[in-house]
Structure formats: C-alpha cells, structure tokens
Amino acid sequence: MTLAAKILTVSDGVAAGTREDRSGAALEECLVGAGFTVVERRVASDGIEDVAAALTDATRDFAGLVVTTGGTGFGPRDLTPEGTRRVLEREAPGLAEAMRIASDAAGRGFGMLSRGVCGSVGAALVCNLPGSSTGARECLEAILPVVPHALDLLAGGHPH
C-alpha cells in the first residue's frame, strides 16, 4: 500500500509571507521518515471558509492522509476545527483524543487546550494538528501507528 499525505498549514502569517512554515516542514520530515510520500504542501489563511475550501480541494479524489497544522487553539482566528467540520463526512474522535493525551504525556500540558478534530472525507483521513512544530510532531507521532490501517479501511480494504 502506497502511503500518500498532504500538509495544509493554516496561518495568516505564513499565507502573507511574514512567517516561516516551520510546522509544515517538521511534519513533512516526520511523514517521509514514516514512509509516506508527501504529494502536496499548501497554505491557507485562518478562517472557517478558507480552511473548508482548502480541505475540500485537498481531499477531492484523494486517498491518503491530510494533516493540518495551526488554528486549533483559543485565539480569535483559530477556526481550523470549525472549517474542518464543514468538510468531514465522519469524525474520528479517538484519533483527536489520542493526540491530546500524547501531547499532555510529553510533559508540556498543552494538549488539553487543543480543539483539533479528525475524520474522513471519502478515502481521505483529515487530522488537525497544533501550529507549533513540537506539538504538531508529537500529535502526528501518536497516531501514525494506526493511520495505514485507517487508510486501508477507507479505501475499502477488509484487513481483519
């Protein structure tokens, strides 16, 4: 099974060119190290409509993992979960919870502040990760062991 991934960085600053996309780069390194082929990296501004539009485009006819980074906290423009929910067909709360637990277990305690969601759109699995490089990496590493199985199931496989 070929493992494909897309990365969506949600940040007004990165979209405007005033901030470097460190978390997107960290996620790409982590995904490639885990055997994924990153087929796309893109940036969207914060906001429900921008996130929903970017995810709709990213998941169209795509079988693979789509990770977002940024916009999962309590800031006024942190609306990635709301934009993601507009696109998701089915939520996967266990994945989001595993990420929060892993982040808190790492000793920083910020996982409980994440509002990120996960779920599916067709054969794509979408997961909201934090905007910090460290937090994004911790959360991704927490779910990577089950992602190939989830993608196989979404593609119609029956590995049981």
pLDDT digits (tens, 9 = 90+) for 115-149: 999 999 999 999 999 999 999 999 999 999 999 99
Three-state DSSP string of 65-133: EEEEECCCCCCCCCCHHHHHHHHCCEECHHHHHHHHHHHHHCCCCCHHHCCCCEEEECCEEEEEECCCH
Percent of the chain scoring above 90 in pLDDT: 87
What is the reported pLDDT for 111? 72
Secondary structure letter of residue 57 according to DSSP:
H
What is the reported pLDDT for 112? 75
CATH class of domain segment(s) 4-154: alpha beta
What is the reported pLDDT for 85? 98
Query: How many Å is the Cα radius of gyration of the chain?
Result: 14
User: Taking Cα atoms as reference points, which of 149, 152, 138 lies closest to residue 105?
Assistant: 138
